[in-house]
Amino acid sequence: MTSGKQPFELPSFYVPCPARLNPNLKAARVHSKAWAYEMGILVTDEENQEVVIWSERQFDAMDIALICAYGHPDIDGPMLNLVTDWYVWLFFYDDRFLKVYRQGQDIREGKEHIARLLTFMPLYDLEFPLEPIDAVERGLANLWSRTAPNASLDWLLRFRESTTNALEAVLWEIANVNQNRIANPIEYIEMRRKVGGAPWSADLIEYSLRAEIPAAIAPTRPMRVLKDTFADTSHLQNDIFSYQREVEEGENTNCVLVIEKFLNCDPQKAANITNDLLTSRLQQFENTALTEVPLLCDEYGLSPDERFKVLLYTKGLREWYAGSHEWHMTSSRYMNQGARKSLQVGGMAIPVTGLGNSGVSVQSLINSMGLKRFKNYDPHIPRPVTEPF
Query: What are the tens digits of pLDDT across the range 58-91?
Result: 999 999 999 999 999 999 999 999 999 999 999 9
HSE of 183, CA atoms in CB hemisphere, 13 A: 19
Q: Is 290 found in the same domain as 193?
A: yes
Confidence at residue 345, expressed as pLDDT on a 0 to 100 scale: 38
- Model pLDDT, residue 339: 61
Co-location of 327 and 346 in the same domain? no
Contact 84, 28 (CB under 8 A): yes
Q: How does pLDDT run across 257-269, given as a tens digit for each residue?
A: 999 999 999 999 9
Within-domain flag for 380: no
What is each CA distance from 145 to 36, 113, 127, in whole angstroms? 16, 20, 9
Q: Is residue 213 part of a domain?
A: yes
What is the model's pLDDT at position 37?
96
Residues 55, 142 within the same domain: yes
- pLDDT at 188 > cutoff 80: yes
Is a pLDDT exceeding 80 seen at residue 368? Answer: no
Q: How far is CA 41 from CA 84, 201, 249, 286, 297, in A?
A: 14, 21, 21, 38, 43
**Sequence-separated (6 or more) residues with CB below 8 Å from residue 350:** 342, 343, 344, 360, 364, 365, 368, 369
Task: Give yes or no for residue 98 having a pLDDT over 80.
Answer: no
Amino acid identity of residue 338, one-letter, is: G
Question: pLDDT value at position 382?
Answer: 52
**Do residues 257 and 345 share a domain?**
no
- 73 and 101 housed in the same domain: yes
Q: Quick one: 272 and 362 in the same domain?
A: no
pLDDT > 70? residue 140: yes
The CA–CA distances, whole Å, from 158 to 68, 164, 197, 200 equal: 21, 10, 13, 9
Residue 150 sits in the same domain as residue 224? yes
Instruction: Indicate the angle between helix axes 304-328 and 267-287, nearest 10 degrees.
Output: 160
* Claim to verify: residue 254 and residue 347 sit in the same structural domain: no
- Domain count for the chain: 2
Domain interval for residue 62: 25-339
Percent of the chain with pLDDT over 70: 82
End-to-end Cα spacing for the chain: 66
Same-domain status, 247 and 279 = yes
36/348: higher pLDDT = 36
| 3-state SS class at 104 | helix
CA separation for the pair 314, 318 (Å, rounded): 6
Q: What is the pLDDT of residue 196?
A: 79
Model confidence pTM above 0.85: no
Instruction: Let me know whether 200 and 302 are in one domain.
Output: yes
Residue 97 has pLDDT above 60, yes or no: yes
Asked, for residue 15, whether it belongs to a domain, the answer is no
More confident residue, 333 or 203: 203
pLDDT surpasses 50 at 346: no
Residue 32 placed within a domain: yes
> Among 339, 355, 381, which residue terminates a domain?
339
Q: Is residue 264 part of a domain?
A: yes
Same-domain pairing of 80 and 104: yes
Over residues 365-388, the mean pLDDT reads: 49
Of the two residues 202 and 381, the one the predictor is more confident about is 202
CATH value at residue 282: 1.10.600.10
pLDDT at 168 over 50: yes
Q: What is the pLDDT of residue 103?
A: 58
Is 234 part of a structural domain of the chain?
yes
Residue 11 in any domain: the answer is no
**How high does pLDDT run on average in the chain?**
84
Residue 57 has pLDDT above 50, yes or no: yes
324 plus 354 within the same structural domain:
no
Enter the DSSP assignment of 197: S
* pLDDT at residue 224 in the model: 95
Mean pLDDT for 369-384 is: 48
pLDDT in tens, 237-288: 999 999 998 888 877 789 999 999 999 999 999 999 999 999 999 999 999 9
Name the pLDDT band for 307 (thresholds 50, 70, 90). very high
Tell me if 345 is assigned to some domain. Answer: yes
Cβ atoms < 10 Å from Cβ of 185: 16
What mean pLDDT is predicted for residues 140-147?
A: 97
